[in-house]
A = this chain, B = another copy of it.
Amino acid sequence: MPQSKEVTIYDIARVLKVSPATVSRGLQNHPHTSPKTKKKILATARQMGYRHNQSARNLTSKKSHTIGVIVPALTSHFMFCVVDGIEKVANKEGYNLIISQSSELSAREADSAKSLFNNRVDGLLASLALDSADLSNFDIFFKKNIPVILFDRVIEHSNCTNILINNHKAAYDATTHLIMQGYERIVHLSAPFRQNIYTERLAGYQQALADHNIKFRKEYLIIENMTMEAGAGAANTLLKLKNRPDSVFAADDSCAIGCMIALKKKGIKIPEDIAFVGFNNDPSCKVVEPNLTTIHYSGHEVGEIAARLLINHLNGIASIHETKTVILRHELIVRESSLNPNKGLKPIK
């Protein structure tokens, strides 16, 4: 098993009878290099099977060419897409990735941050854990001026650029859609209201109610984790309400679907008895019956933009500090779960 020796720029230099410096310059088409020698260098490099040594480059450049990613969990299709988007851009730009999960725990988020910090990542892309109330976990990065970009679950902070959708508007759209279908007793199923995505969605929901003269009832707020199991639990809570709701706007598809399935098992008809709108456009939306109306926004886009922004910043092409917030497009995708067969369309106000 002989680990055949690697070709270095010295080897190429020797063959071409030039200095290693010239080879180095030729390889990275440095401005002050004659096209001829550059061509020669490139040719023999290829022919000799030269591969650059990133570690050596990192050593001189004092960079790791590595980006850290912290996500709450890799269990949703959405986060999957985000990471995929990040991966694509990072790959193309010659950056490596270290991905870690906080498991929705601020304490583990701190561990991840520390670990990535010790790995000397050049920058960080993160989405906050459910119980992270501030950005103190990232202070080590701020102190060393390492760029941090937050996506989806964010907190406004002078040191961070944020990438997200207009959650308020999205929730407003979703709720209004239910109202337009003739629903009035709308439950909002969401997670503990700490993260922006949940507080904003709540606010959007409330605004839509207000704009259509529907009184907000706090007993119509059901707080759960956003899992299928939690959704099933929510179904019980929901059925016990004195004033039986006629619809649900959930802040997450999985939770909505868990709830739908549990209700259906008890003989509740959807959307006849209770209509549903979810959030995230999980693939399961098209499997559950009836198909789930939901808010779609592209995880790939989130990931790609986050990575692009960070890498441009690292490469000095553009500064993060010029763009504090990026708001991406969202879209309401209407499916049967929210189409009211009885009441039809109803005018606003």
Task: Report how many copies the assembly holds.
Answer: 2
With both beta carbons as reference points, the residue of chain B lying nearest to A112 in the complex is identified as B91
Q: A100: shortest Cβ distance to chain B, in Å?
A: 6
Per the bound structure, the CA–CA distance linking A319 and B117 in Å amounts to: 32
B51 adjacent to A55 (CB under 8 Å): no
Chain-B contact segment, one of A30-38, A161-169, A283-291: A283-291
List 10 A–B pairs whose Cβ atoms lie within 8 Å, in order of A's numbering: A3-B144, A3-B145, A52-B118, A54-B120, A56-B59, A87-B99, A87-B100, A96-B97, A283-B284, A289-B289
Per the bound structure, the CA–CA distance linking A6 and B117 in Å amounts to: 12
Q: A188: shortest Cβ distance to chain B, in Å?
A: 22
Interface mask (A144-168 → B, CB under 8 Å = 1, otherwise 0): 1100000000000000000000000
Residues of chain B within 8 A (CB-CB) of A53 are 59, 120
Residues of chain B within 8 A (CB-CB) of A27 are none
User: Residues on A close to B: CB < 8 A?
Assistant: 1-4, 6, 51-56, 58-59, 62, 64, 66, 74, 80, 84, 87, 91, 96-100, 115, 117-120, 143-145, 228, 257, 261, 283-284, 286-289
Per the bound structure, the CA–CA distance linking A257 and B53 in Å amounts to: 47
Q: A17: shortest Cβ distance to chain B, in Å?
A: 26
With both beta carbons as reference points, the residue of chain B lying nearest to A291 in the complex is identified as B261
Pick from B62, B87, B118: contact of A51, CB below 8 A. B118
- Most-contacted residue by chain B among A3, A283, A288 (CB, 10 A): A283
Per the bound structure, the CA–CA distance linking A286 and B56 in Å amounts to: 50
Q: A123: shortest Cβ distance to chain B, in Å?
A: 13
Pick from B3, B59, B100, B144: contact of A59, CB below 8 A. B59
A98 adjacent to B98 (CB under 8 Å): no
B96 adjacent to A91 (CB under 8 Å): no
A100 adjacent to B96 (CB under 8 Å): no
- Most-contacted residue by chain B among A3, A80, A287 (CB, 10 A): A287
Per the bound structure, the CA–CA distance linking A54 and B59 in Å amounts to: 9
With both beta carbons as reference points, the residue of chain B lying nearest to A261 in the complex is identified as B287
Residues of chain B within 8 A (CB-CB) of A96 are 66, 96-98
Q: A53: shortest Cβ distance to chain B, in Å?
A: 7
With both beta carbons as reference points, the residue of chain B lying nearest to A146 in the complex is identified as B3
Per the bound structure, the CA–CA distance linking A99 and B90 in Å amounts to: 10
